[in-house]
Structure 1
Amino acid sequence: MDDVVGPHGLGQKNERGERLVEWAQRNEVIIANNWFEQPPRMKWTWKSPGDGSRNQIDFILISKRFRNAPLISKALPSADCYSDHVLLMGKIRVKLRKQKRQNPILD
């Protein structure tokens, strides 16, 4: 589980969170939100009606193949999107390499 979920989550995992972690392990993806240390105001992604509680329920999932690509991931609570959910922002580093083409052997 340590290779899927980072140490910087918000709150406790419930049954749905455990199922997400199991799914991520089976499908070889990581949960990018939890790998970056952020203040709590930059972690919560959902606000309950009446502003009673705030939870981290939206995630950025990335293939394990690209686990070094994310540079940062955070919530943007100041963005006004008329929803109880908050926008997520992530920066990734992409390095594309030209593939070497093999010539077919002609007989």
Structure 2
Amino acid sequence: MECGFHPGCDRSSGGPAATFQEARAAFEVAWGELLPPLTKANFQAWRDHRDWIARKQAMWDSGEKLPSQLPSSLMRCPCGATFDSHRPAESQIYTPHIYAAQRRDGIRR
């Protein structure tokens, strides 16, 4: 048997145990070392991460996409304004800002 902790805890027992009793004893020792420095914030961060993973998995299981996976025509201008690139008449005023930023960053000459 092998027992691991939450990623980032960097605890290793040196490999799998031969029996459940050995694994349980090693777990108790490791847990005794890990638990004292943990704060309520550490546990809340773990719960938040766990809940996010569950929500994400439920979305994927139902065929939904994450908001970041949905196509969008909205863009952010280097000046900070958000505009719809599918509306040329409204978005052309941002073209000089975009080209200037591209020249500055070496993307456009």
TM-score bracket, normalised by the shorter chain, equals: under 0.3
**Greater fraction strand:** 1
**Greater fraction helix:** 2
- Calculate the TM-score normalised by the size of structure 1: 0.22
Q: Which structure would you say has the larger Rg?
A: 2
